[in-house]
Every structure is written in structure tokens, then in C-alpha cells.
Amino acid sequence: MIFAVISDIHANLEALEAVLEDLRSQHIDTVYCLGDVVGYGCDPTRCLELVVEHCDIRLMGNHEYYALGLISNDYLSPVARQSAAWTQEHLTEEDIETISNFEMEAHLADIHLVHASPFEPESWRYILATQEAQRAFDCMQGTICFYGHSHLPMIFSCSTEGEIRHQVGHDFQPSDDKRYLVNVGSVGQPRDNDPKACYALFDADARTVTYRRVAYDIEKTQQKMKAAGVPELLVERLTVGQ
Ligand code: ZN
């Protein structure tokens, strides 16, 4: 079985459509979505519809939490707060219903899926360094945990002796004697200096993880965002993948 893991779509319809098109060529059995379908971009409703249509597991991200009013926007940057308010104004009742059915975590055989971290998933912590990875390895179930949230494709491995290693996201074959944290990157707002949409594939039989980068019509997305009154910074960052 081959499954795709997508995350952090951020209401970027063109990026999501390009990824779904790419998936058609990859002989995927199923698609799982790790959350942040909404926020930042200007097409939340259509993105939610496509995620419901194509993804068998749909997890909650922090931007879904903002949309549902489950956490305060107070600590957000002014731009992020403006974006969260824009999203709340534009979501339909059906969108809210869809989002409220998203799950916090999912477990499939030896695979753990979560938006931010397996420890305190509702606190939306980032796993960026060894210290957080250690907490994540202590809490994760199974041998591979796929996550998102930072928009940075990266991999942490933990040996049976407890040694943790950290690398940028790359294709690899998980070793039987290690456990892994795999950040699948972001479909709709990459931040690793590559503006192409990012997601990951896992072949459960061959035991391989593959990262895919997919070009999409960034200018079209940016024009729509500008017309919708989304903050300029969020529009510009798509050009450079930052
Ligand atoms: Zn995100």
C-alpha cells in the first residue's frame, strides 16, 4: 500500500489542485491530511471540499482551531491575526461543520499522524530541534510519525540506543532498528526556500519515504489573494517559499 501525506494547504487552491494532479500519476491508495487546510490563503471553502473528497484521514491544525475559536489569536503576529480574522469571516457554516469533525491524531498500524507534535498535540508545539524531537520520540506510538506545522520538510531518526539525528527532508528507506519523525512540508506555503508545493509518499511494502515537489501557478494564487485583501506579506512569501 502507498499512501500520501499532505499538510498545511493553507487555502491555496492552485497548490492543492497541482498536488492532487501529481497524486494521480503516483498510484496512491489513499491520502491523509495533517491539517491547516485553512488560514493565510483565500480559498478555504474549495480546499476543504477537496480535502473531504480526497483524504481518508483529516486532522486538525492550529488554523482550524483559530477558525473554531478554540484558541485565542492574541499571541499571533499582526499579519497572522489579520489572516485568522479573514478566514473566520469567509468560512461557511458547512465549512465549520467540516472542520469540527477533524481529528487531533490518527494511528495506523505502526504509523502515527499528527499536525504539530505527538506530545501535547493541542498545544501546537514545533519540532525543530533535538530537544523537541526527544519529547516527540518519548510520546509517539509506532515507528514513524508523520507531522507538519513548521512547513519545513525534515527528518529526525532515533536509534535503539536513543541517539537522535536530524536531517532536511529527503527520500529514504526507514531502517528497522530506528524510529522516525517525518515532517512532510507544506502544500500551500512552503518555507524552505523552494516555492513548489511539498508532500510525502510512504510505500508501506517497499518501506520507502519519498518527497514530491510540485510546481503550480503561483502568480494566479497571488493575484487572487491580493484581490481578496489578504495581507501582502502572505502573498509575497509564496514567490520565494519563505
Ligand atoms: Zn501551517
Cα 47 to middle of ligand 1, angstroms: 14
Cα 190 to middle of ligand 1, angstroms: 9
pLDDT of 33 reads 98
Q: To which residue does cell 497572522 refer? A: 80
Q: Is the pTM of this model over 0.85?
A: yes
Neighbours of 178 (CB within 10 A): 16
Cα 104 to middle of ligand 1, angstroms: 15
Cα 162 to middle of ligand 1, angstroms: 29
Q: Which domain holds residue 88?
A: 2-240
H helix runs in the chain, sequence order: 13-24, 44-54, 62-68, 78-90, 93-100, 130-139, 218-228, 232-240
Average pLDDT on 3-7 reads 98
Cα 34 to middle of ligand 1, angstroms: 10
Domain of residue 208, CATH code: 3.60.21.10
Cα 46 to middle of ligand 1, angstroms: 17
191/126 Cα distance (integer angstroms): 14
Cα 8 to middle of ligand 1, angstroms: 4
Cα 143 to middle of ligand 1, angstroms: 24
Average pLDDT on 46-57 reads 98
191 Cβ neighbours under 8 A, 6+ residues apart:
150, 151, 152, 237, 241, 242
Cα 77 to middle of ligand 1, angstroms: 14
Cα 59 to middle of ligand 1, angstroms: 12
pLDDT of 107 reads 97
pLDDT of 73 reads 74
Residue 101 scores a pLDDT above 80 = yes
- pLDDT tens column, 135-153: 999 999 999 999 999 999 9
141/239 Cα distance (integer angstroms): 37
* Structure-block grid coordinates of residue 49: 471540499
Cα 5 to middle of ligand 1, angstroms: 14
85: confidence class by pLDDT, cuts 50, 70, 90: very high
Cα 7 to middle of ligand 1, angstroms: 8
Cα 161 to middle of ligand 1, angstroms: 33
74: confidence class by pLDDT, cuts 50, 70, 90: confident
Cα separation values, 136 from 101, 146, 197, 211, Å: 25, 11, 26, 22
Geometric angle at alpha carbon 109, from 107 and 114, rounded to 5°: 25
Cα 129 to middle of ligand 1, angstroms: 18
First to last CA, the chain: 33
**Would you say 38 and 10 are in contact if contact means Cβ atoms under 8 Å apart?**
yes
Q: State how many domains the chain has.
A: 1
Tell me the percentage of the chain whose pLDDT exceeds 70: 100
Residue 75 scores a pLDDT above 80 = no
Cα 149 to middle of ligand 1, angstroms: 5
* Structure-block grid coordinates of residue 168: 532536511
71: confidence class by pLDDT, cuts 50, 70, 90: confident
pLDDT of 159 reads 97
* Structure-block grid coordinates of residue 4: 500520501
181: confidence class by pLDDT, cuts 50, 70, 90: very high
